[in-house]
Amino acid sequence: MSAVKRSTAWLVRSLREVLEREGPTHACAFLRIGLALNVWACWSRRLLLFEQLTLPRAAIALAFFVCSTAFLLGWHTRIAAFGLALVASAIYYYMGGTLHIDAFHHHHTYILVMGLWFVALTPCGRSLSLDRWFALRRAERTGTPPPPEWGPLWAMHLIALQVTVVYLGSAFDKSHEGFLRGVRHEHLLHFLYLGSDTLPQSPLVTFVLLAMGTGTVILEYALAIGLWVPRLRAPLIVVGLAFHGVLYVLLPLSTFSTTMAVLYLAYLPAETVTKVWTRLTAPTLAVAE
Amino acid sequence: MPWKSWIRFAAWCALALFVIGGPLYTQVFKQRSRWIRPWRMYSSKGLEACRLEFRRRDLDGDETRLERLALLGYPRWVDAPKNVRLVTDTAKAERQGRTICARLGGRADVRMYLDCGKKRARWAPRAQGERNLCQR
């Protein structure tokens, strides 16, 4: 078989595995909860009704609060998820893009919009939700087994792909001499912390700025590729979370860091997330019994 | 393949294409689109910041760096309000320079070195000590 045929067969096989993949749904549920909290942290203050007095904006704001609450609680989750994704798109494209309300038109709001659409395609309401609670009660009443916390996970790969593309795009944009020498870090240091007094001209300062600039770009490329490699995943997740944590504390990034941290769940095998959750909650259940 | 699988396949491919193709279109091919956001983050934050240094020139032409904030009345850096600590334009820098001239008695030779943030991680020079700020 030629190399082209072998590669095509491998691609078709891999795509089939992705599309037919099923598994436990706790990871999707954590994604749902994490994104709901991020969305509230990002937008809820600005969408309070006294800030949105015209009809389309008030309607969007009301829809936001209804859908995001249902989404967080996992009530009629599929409808709430798609509803929230639609509302988030209206916030980004209409309020941010058309009405030019700057607060709604940033990369940290765009990643939320993309994340919400992809999570809406997962069975994120089958675990840790009101829907699950009602399903359990129905099963008890009728004496039938409860529905399994199991479902198709093909959209999880899209979430991971989105995170990878964010890192690749960001690293690509920063791959020029000025950033690698640390000049952007210097801009931010002066603007946010030091004021206008010049830094001392010393090899140590030059080295630190160079390390910050080059290190950022190398790390972003490493995260883009390494998070797909099972052996590198755990250490890179730790490094990635630390990286985003440091940025969250040092820079006014709004919810970008926390959103990326939540989306990391898409890289973890769903079975691992469920195993950890079961282990964490099992002693509590044993005490209750 | 059942029709549900075909729909899933089409949806997955379309979304993957959007995720990958979007930044390719806007960042690699440098096209603009209302619907796709490039992953170009934080590229303009902090560009207002300027680096500023005042130096006193003696008769021999040697220059000594002046402690700008101390001469403006803030012996500790953290005591200076942000709008004094951070200079964002030439006019503001010159005003600070004239204040420093007055504090030094008006006859000093004070030179201003100023550069301000510019896109693509650069500094744009605005003043390189060309004139004596204390001379009217």
Report pLDDT digits (tens) over A42-79: 999 999 999 888 899 999 999 999 999 999 999 999 99
pLDDT of residue B96: 95
Cβ pair B17, B11 in contact under 8 A: no
DSSP A200: P
Which residues between 96 and 115 in chain B have a beta carbon less than 8 angstroms from any beta carbon of chain A? none
Could you tell me if residue B48 is left (phi over 0), alpha (psi between -120 and 50 degrees) or otherwise beta?
alpha
Of A117, A172, A198, the CB nearest to B51: A198
What global pTM score does this model have?
0.90
CB pairs under 8 A between A and B: 130
Whether B17 contacts chain A with CB within 8 A: no
Check residue B44 and give its pLDDT: 82
| Residue of B6, B36, B37 to mutate when probing chain A, most A C-beta within 10 A | B37
* Confidence category of residue A134, pLDDT binned at 50, 70, 90: very high
- Nearest Cβ partner of B41 from A170, A187, A188? A170
Out of A137-151, A156-170, A274-288, which region has the weakest mean confidence (pLDDT)? A274-288
Instruction: Report pLDDT for B16.
Output: 94
Half-sphere exposure in the Cβ direction for B29 (13 Å, CA): 11
Tell me the C-alpha distance between A37 and A59, whole Å. Answer: 21
Q: How far does A190 lie from chain B, in Å, by closest CA?
A: 6
Alpha-carbon span A238 to A246, nearest angstrom? 12
Q: Could B19 and A161 be called an inter-chain contact, meaning their C-beta atoms sit closer than 8 Å?
A: yes
Of B86, B93, B121, the CB nearest to A179: B121
Interface list for A 77-106 with B (CB within 8 A): 93, 97
* Per-residue model confidence (pLDDT) at position A195: 93
Sorting pLDDT into bands at 50, 70 and 90, what band is A1?
low
Contact between chains at B16 and A192 (C-beta distance less than 8 A):
no
CB within 8 Å: B12 and A158? yes
B 72-91 residues inside an 8 A Cβ radius of A: 77, 80, 82, 84-87
Confidence of residue B1 (pLDDT cuts 50, 70, 90): low
- pLDDT at A265 > cutoff 90: yes
pLDDT, tens digit (0-9, with 9 covering 90-100), for A149-176: 999 999 999 999 999 999 999 999 999 9
For residue A197, which residues of chain B lie inside 8 Å, CB to CB? 51-53, 68-69, 77, 85
Mean pLDDT of B84-99: 94
What was the ipTM of the complex prediction? Answer: 0.88
User: How far is residue A12's CA from residue A6's CA, in Å, rounded to a whole number?
Assistant: 10
Is the pLDDT reported for residue A121 higher than 90? yes
Residue contact A190–B23, C-beta within 8 A: no
At A246, list the tokens: 């440091």
Helices (H), chain B: 3-23, 68-71, 82-85, 90-103
Of residues A25, A26, A60, the one with CA closest to residue A43: A60
pLDDT of residue A285 exceeding 70: no
Contacts of A20 in chain B (CB under 8 A): 5
Mean pLDDT computed over every residue of chain A: 93
What is the pLDDT at residue A288?
55
- Tell me, what's the pLDDT at A253? 85
- pLDDT of B62 higher than 90: yes
Percent of chain A with pLDDT over 90: 81
Closest CA in chain A for residue B8:
A19
Nearest to A107 among B19, B41, B50 (CB): B41
Q: Which of B44, B36, B45, B43 is nearest to B17 (CA)?
A: B36
> What are A199-237's pLDDT values in tens digits?
988 999 999 999 999 999 999 999 999 999 999 999 999
The pLDDT of residue A237 is 97
How many angstroms separate the CA of residue A197 from the nearest CA in chain B? 6
Q: For the residues A2-31, what does the mean pLDDT come to? A: 90
The residue with greater pLDDT, A94 or B2, is A94
The predicted pLDDT at position A286 comes to 56
Token couple for A70: 């249902």
> pLDDT digit string (tens) for A227-259?
999 999 999 999 999 999 999 999 988 899 999
Tokens at A267, concatenated: 């890289």
Q: Considering only alpha carbons, which residue of chain B is nearest residue A98?
A: B34
B-proximal residues of A, 184-223, CB under 8 Å: 184, 187-188, 190-192, 194-198
CB-based contact A196 B86, cutoff 8 Å: yes
Residue of B19, B47, B82 lying closest to A162 (CB–CB): B19
* pLDDT band at residue A24 under the 50/70/90 scheme: very high
Contacts of A176 in chain B (CB under 8 A): 120-121
CB A25 within 8 A of CB A149: yes
What is chain B's mean pLDDT, rounded?
Answer: 90
Q: Which of B41, B48, B95, B133 is nearest to A106 (CA)?
A: B41
Alpha-carbon dihedral sign for residues A235, A236, A237, A242: positive
Helices (H) and strands (E) in chain B, counts: 4, 4
pLDDT bin (cut points 50, 70, 90) of residue B119 is confident
